[in-house]
């Protein structure tokens, strides 16, 4: 409805785009994933759509424009730290979405892509607040559970960053979650040693 109001009298763009369905799976089913956080959803979809529109405008061969759009979207999302897999589909939609999407040009990444993404995030906030989950995700210890004191050998967060850089891979877990996990492991190890 918001997209329809924003598009009133403009090009016959779709009010809802397919990549938002994939974004919804991440936001509602795996809200702790770094790929499902608000900046990843909004930034990833909008930035990718901007890259897709640019590829559609400046690469005259559609099949080549598709590849440029998706590769460019992955690069842009990685550089801006808003990696979001459905963003690849938003970039693709900007290239192959048909005459209405192509004629909308640089408006498409904002209406409907940006509006859809923001509404999805707001719905995610409401749903997770009502269900008692943390969203956007924060690594918060479970109430009633103690953490190990840092002198017990828990890795420093900077050491976690260095270890992740050593591996040269992208993991679907945040440094904060790893730190919390290591602290709980160390706590249980200390408890086992006491008993």
Residue percentage of the chain with pLDDT more than 90? 51
- pLDDT higher than 80, residue 48: yes
Higher pLDDT, 167 or 180: 180
pLDDT, tens only, 74-121: 999 999 999 999 999 999 999 999 988 898 899 999 989 999 999 999
Confidence band, pLDDT 50/70/90 cuts, at residue 141: low
Residues 6+ apart with CB under 8 A from 165: none
CA 166/CA 12 separation, integer angstroms: 49
pTM given for the model? 0.76
Whole-number pLDDT of residue 26: 95
DSSP annotation of 17 reads: -
For residues 28-47, average pLDDT: 94
Q: How confident is the model at residue 180 (pLDDT cuts 50, 70, 90)?
A: confident
Residue 159 neighbours by CB under 8 Å, 6+ apart: none
- Collapsed DSSP state (helix, strand, coil) of residue 12: coil
Instruction: Report which of 39, 41, 99, 91 is spatially closest to residue 65, judged by C-alpha positions.
Output: 91
Q: C-alpha distances in angstroms, 50 versus 64, 109, 113, 120?
A: 17, 6, 10, 19
pLDDT band at 181 (very low <50, low <70, confident <90, very high): confident
Residue 10 reports pLDDT greater than 60: no
The yes-or-no verdict on residue 142 having pLDDT over 60 is no
Q: Between the CA of residue 177 and those of 17, 141, 180, 181, 188, what are the distances in Å?
A: 32, 10, 5, 6, 17
Euclidean distance between CA atoms 144 and 167, whole angstroms: 34
Rounded-to-integer distance, Cα 18 and Cα 98, Å? 14
Nearest Cα to Cα of residue 124 among 142, 114, 137, 112:
137
């Amino acid at each position: 409805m918001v997209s329809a109001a924003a598009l009133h009298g403009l090009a016959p763009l779709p009010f809802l785009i397919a990549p938002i369905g994939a974004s919804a799976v991440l936001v509602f089913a795996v809200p702790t994933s770094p790929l499902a956080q608000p900046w990843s959803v909004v930034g990833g979809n909008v930035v990718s759509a901007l890259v897709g529109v640019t590829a559609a405008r400046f690469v005259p061969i559609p099949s080549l424009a598709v590849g440029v759009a998706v590769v460019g979207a992955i690069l842009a999302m990685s550089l801006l730290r808003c990696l979001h897999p459905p963003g690849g589909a938003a970039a693709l939609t900007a290239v192959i979405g048909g005459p209405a999407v192509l004629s909308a040009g640089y408006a498409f990444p904002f209406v409907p892509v940006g509006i859809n993404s923001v509404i999805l995030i707001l719905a995610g906030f409401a749903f997770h607040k009502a269900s008692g989950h943390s969203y956007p995700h924060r690594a918060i210890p479970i109430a009633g559970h103690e953490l190990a004191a840092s002198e017990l050998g828990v890795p420093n967060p900077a050491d976690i960053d260095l270890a992740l850089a050593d591996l040269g891979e992208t993991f679907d877990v945040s440094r904060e979650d790893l730190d919390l996990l290591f602290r709980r492991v160390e706590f249980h190890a200390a408890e086992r040693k006491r008993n």
